[in-house]
Amino acid sequence: MAQLEQQVARRLTRFYILALTVLAVLALSGLLFIRQTLNDHDDDSRVVNVAGRQRMLSQRLTKLALLQTTEIPTPDTASFTALLNTWSQIQRQLRDGTLRMEKDYLVRKSRRIDQMLAQIEPVFQSMYQNLVRINTASTTPEEKKAALQAVLQAEPLFLEQMNAIVFQFDQESFERVRALERIEWVLTIATLLTLLIEGLLIFRPVVKHTKDVIRKLTESDEALRQTNAQLNMANYDLENANRQLVITQRELLWATEEKYRLQMAEEKIRSAGLLEGQEEERRRFARELHDGIGQMLTGLKLHAEKLKAVPFAEPKHRERFEELCNLIYDVIQTTRQTSHNLMPSVLNDFGLGAALQFLAEQTTRSSGIPVTYEGETEGKRLTPAQEIGLYRIAQEALNNAMKHAEARQIIIRWQHDGNSPTLTVEDDGKGFVQKAAPEKDGLPQPTHGLENMRTRARLLNGELTIASKRKKGTKVTVCLTDTRNA
């Protein structure tokens, strides 16, 4: 029997590891596809922006050529030669397939775009040569006028064809994003199929094996009942039977107590693992927000700030651009705030006292409710698990006070004296009457917020007490009884 159980366990373990490996590969493949597409989309966006800028430069060069030929004074201080060189250089880089700016951007061109760039090349060369002729000091006024006439004739065709090229770039970029969506669907379906196979090949055998074990236990229990009945019917010595019964009762009591201790230890380990998994997921999300989306938003902000020096054709365009910059800044601030709420860096760097003080100041700024911190900000550090557990309890208590208590003032106290540090969150809100937890099937069911705080305190070898009265406020206290074994 033991050998059979080991064979079943090994087989199920292999299937489980294989299923997890497939899921991990599918997840990593999806992330790599998304990362590659984001990088390609960034290049595509830059290319579309630069291609659209070519139209603006051609119009500006035409205007400057017209003003220079007619000798009309203009407040535009831009260098005609610099603009002409920039316009020519970008057009050549679009044709060659690489934009060389703050970094190299790949111009991914289809056969259609290559044909369109080849088609626009004669028009571009005509405009460029005539603009060079206008900018040459030795050119006579009549030659400049003739060159200007050629530029004016070629400019509408250049703008029309350049518009078509920009739209084609944008369309092809959109098609590549759609292709990624299709790949993501394929990966999602593959993941669901893997989960289905895992359920059929792993969980069903486990359930079947469990049923067999329960059946054998039931049969064994029935055999035990029959044996007891036979023993009761026998004419044994009453004193020996009583003595045996007492021994059996003691063993049963010890087994029950041991089972209860094992259940409590298992529940504590499960809760600790769940909370640790939650904290690890929060750390991962915080890193993703800060290092991924935060960096991209910062880059977007820098690109937007570079465009502030570009003149706008209409004031409303400037106003919309300023609104866009403000929106980008608000998104960056919101992202930073979310990342900090998930995993505050000040907790790891400076300890629980500094983190609680920062939490109080941040809550005061965001909610308008005065939150006061009383306690030391430097001193002996606790273990990382104790600090994050106490910090989460303070967060939950503070959140409850702001959401439900309608408090006018909240106080956070932190005392770290010897081996019994104490955390207190007190408010002057409306308070509440503590009720028994709701029951289901005769068992108490905890409420999430208060039970989370109690669970964290229990895992830290601490005690959580809540004192609250109607219109008298609420006081939440956590006292760690032994910080050395937490």
Which tens digits make up the pLDDT trace of 403-439? 887 788 899 988 877 667 888 998 888 887 766 555 4
Q: What percent of the chain has pLDDT over 90?
A: 0
In degrees, rounded to 5, the angle at the alpha carbon of residue 365 between the alpha carbons of residues 378 and 397 is: 65
**How many CB atoms neighbour CB 461 within 10 A?**
14
Contact predicate 461/485, CB 8 Å: yes
For residue 384, the number of C-alpha atoms closer than 13 Å in the C-beta half-sphere is: 9
Consecutive H or E run containing 236: none
Q: Which pLDDT tens digit goes with each residue over 44-80? A: 788 888 888 888 888 888 887 777 787 777 666 668 8
Consecutive H or E run containing 408: none
Three-state SS across 307-368? HHHCCCCCHHHHHHHHHHHHHHHHHHHHHHHHHHHHCCHHHHHHCHHHHHHHHHHHHHHHHC
Q: Quote the pLDDT of residue 152.
A: 86
Task: Compute φ and ψ for 406, nearest 5 degrees.
Answer: 55, 45
Indicate the residue type of 298.
Answer: T
In degrees, rounded to 5, the angle at the alpha carbon of residue 33 between the alpha carbons of residues 29 and 34 is: 120
**How many CB atoms neighbour CB 90 within 10 A?**
18
CB proximity list for 78: less than 8 A, separation 6 or greater: 60, 64
Helix, coil or strand: residue 444: strand
CB proximity list for 407: less than 8 A, separation 6 or greater: 369, 401, 427, 428, 429, 473
Query: Of 339, 375, 350, 345, which Cα lies nearest the Cα of 360?
Result: 375
Beta-ladder partners of 464: 478
Q: Which pLDDT tens digit goes with each residue over 80-127? A: 888 888 888 888 888 888 888 778 888 887 888 888 888 888 988 888
2-205 adopts what CATH topology? Four Helix Bundle (Hemerythrin (Met), subunit A) (1.20.120)
**How many CB atoms neighbour CB 395 within 10 A?**
18
Confidence tier at 269 by pLDDT (50, 70, 90): low
375: left (phi over 0), alpha (psi -120 to 50) or beta: left
pTM above 0.75, yes or no: no
From CA 300, how far away is CA 295, in angstroms rounded?
9
List C-alpha distances in Å: 361 to 328, 342, 356, 373, 441.
Answer: 25, 17, 9, 8, 45
CATH code for the structural domain at 348-480: 3.30.565.10
Q: Quote the pLDDT of residue 444.
A: 38
Q: Quote the pLDDT of residue 232.
A: 75
Q: Quote the pLDDT of residue 443.
A: 37
Whether the predicted pLDDT of 479 surpasses 80: yes
